[in-house]
Amino acid sequence: MGFLLALKMAIASIISNKWRTFLTMLGVIIGVAAVIAATGFAMGSTASITSSIEDLGSNTLTVTLFNKGTNRDLSYNEFIAFTEENSKYIEAVSPTVTGNATIKYEAESYENSQIIGTNAAYELVKNSHVQDGRYILDLDLEFRQKIAVIGTAVVNNLFDSKDQALGAYIKIDGTPFKVVGILDEKEGGQEGSSDDAILIPLTTAQRMFSSAKINNFTILVSDSELVDETVVVLETFLTEFYGTDDSYRVFNLAMILDTLSEVTDTLALILGGIAVISLLVGGIGIMNIMLVSVTERTREIGIRKAIGAKRSSIMTQFIIEAVVVTGLGGIIGIIIGILSIQLLISKFVPPVIDTMWVFVSFGFSLVIGLVFGIFPALKAANLNPIEALRSE
């Protein structure tokens, strides 16, 4: 008996039992839909976290200095000298001194906690550019210029428009600063977000906050392949300088990415486990219904055998029926899974539909039908034709 004919027979029998078949499929449908939706959610959230980290730059290192257990202080110039010696590893370095102050423009005033004193390399290191005007220059550091590059949230808070802001003088804790540039908008211009920052020259900030100490350096590594080596070079230098490794910390964004991908892998494993269990439960349901169906159709099987069906023909018929049921369940599950990603999950994370998971879950549902169809099919194939004909 041909495969197509067996398929046709299976479909006919499924159609004649629509509701029962649907209920039988439900386990597989839910299992597959869950796999697609859950992996979509996991991958979508990973993608969004990864992309926001990559925005910061995956070959970025942060050095935090605590000055703990030492009385030596690392100055800006000393650190710059070190980075210039190691230009093979370090492409750019940007120090930051942060503080808060009251910002005023004419009658408007508010408290801002993100006054960042830095240098020209900040643009490259933080991947943060101006949309209008200019950036901080190293010359500004030399002359302790009172200029500011402001984020869009600051513009929104103090000014009517960007045109009005550019060239205006704002007062930072009473000192007038000329606005020379406006930063690209990153987080919708929300107050308190990274758009609420004010960049001023490092030296100006040191004087303003009356502290020469720099607590943070952000380093751009020349090549992502060299990140690990750069960490070693940095740690060697700092340990030697301070005489201890307690007074600093080198922080690696690539490490966060690694941790994140471990978390995602674990998540995928758990999801996979849940999916396998729900598909197995679905499979047992299918086996159960197929056994009922074999019992109900004992007479049919007897008739088929009497007029010449071989054991293998009966076997094929029932296995194909089981596989068609689970395969159909798999397809419906995939459709529901994709719809739930597009309509629901996409509201929270970027929608990701991984074709690999679509194929894996479809393949798995076919395998479930095959595995759980074998026992009922064997039972049908081994029926004694005379007893089968006598049944009912």
Partner 1 sequence: MTALVEMKDLKKTYKMGETYVKALDGINLTIKKDEFVSIVGPSGSGKSTLMNMIGCLDALDEGTYFLEGTDVSELSSSKLALIRSKKIGFIFQGFNLLSKLTALENVEMPLIYQNYSHKNRKKKAIEALEKVGLGDRLHHKPTELSGGQQQRVAIARALVADPPIILADEPTGNLDSKSGKEIMDMLVDLHKQGNTIILITHDTYIANTARRKIVLKDGKITEDVEVS
Query: Can residue 386 be called a binding residue for partner 1 (CB under 8 A)?
Result: yes
In the complex with partner 1, the residue whose CB is nearer, 266 or 384, is 384
In the complex, the smallest distance separating the C-beta of residue 300 from partner 1, rounded to whole angstroms, is 6
Question: What is the DSSP-derived secondary structure letter of residue 347?
Answer: G
Nearer to partner 1, 104 or 311 (CB): 311
- Out of 304, 333, 337, 349, name the contact with partner 1 by CB under 8 A: 304
If one asks whether residue 307 binds partner 1 (CB under 8 A), the answer comes out as yes
Is 220:57 a contact under the CB 8 Å cutoff? yes
Q: Where are the alpha helices (DSSP H) in 243-354?
A: 253-296, 298-306, 311-343
How far from 2 is each of 5, 103, 121, 290, 316, CA to CA, in Å? 5, 83, 72, 22, 10
- Judge contact between 109 and 129, C-beta under 8 A: no
Stretch that binds partner 1, among 12-20, 41-49, 182-190, 334-342 (CB under 8 A): 12-20
Q: Which is nearer to partner 1, 126 or 297 (CB)?
A: 297
Characterize the bridge pairing of strands 198-201 and 108-118.
parallel
* Cβ atoms of 370 and 321 closer than 8 Å: no
End-to-end Cα spacing for the chain: 27
Stretch 127-186 residues interacting with partner 1 (CB under 8 A) = none
Give the residue with the Cβ less far from partner 1, 292 or 339.
Answer: 292
Asked if 18 touches partner 1 (CB under 8 A), the answer is no
Q: Is 252 in the site for partner 1 (CB under 8 A)?
A: no
**Does 305 sit near partner 1 (CB under 8 A)?**
yes
Asked if 379 touches partner 1 (CB under 8 A), the answer is no
DSSP label of 184: P
Query: Taking the alpha carbons of 131, 59, 267, 370 in that order, is the dihedral positive or negative?
Result: positive
Nearer CB in complex with partner 1: 3/161: 3
Find, among 44, 25, 52, 29, the residue nearest to 268 by Cα: 44
Residue 292 sits in the site that holds partner 1 (CB under 8 A): no
User: CB of residue 311 vs partner 1: minimum separation in angstroms?
Assistant: 6
Q: Minimum Å distance from CB 17 to partner 1?
A: 10
CB of 312 to partner 1, least distance (A): 7
Residue 258 C-beta: closest distance to partner 1, Å: 59
Nearer to partner 1 (CB atom), residue 16 or residue 161: 16
Four-residue CA torsion sign, 201, 203, 209, 215: positive
Candidate ranges 34-42, 247-255, 297-305, 366-374; the one touching partner 1 (CB under 8 A): 297-305
Which position among 68, 72, 213, 310 is part of the footprint of partner 1 (CB under 8 A)?
Answer: 310
Rounded distance between C-alpha atoms, residue 282 and residue 327, angstroms: 12
Residue 303 binds to partner 1 (criterion: CB under 8 A) = yes
Rounded to whole angstroms, the Cα distance separating 389 from 384 reads 9
309 binds partner 1 (CB under 8 A): yes
Q: Which residues pair with 104 in a beta bridge?
A: 109, 171
> How many Cα atoms occupy the beta-carbon half-sphere of 291 within 13 Å?
8
| Residue numbers at the binding site for partner 1 (CB under 8 A) | 1-2, 5, 12-13, 16, 299-300, 302-313, 385-386, 389
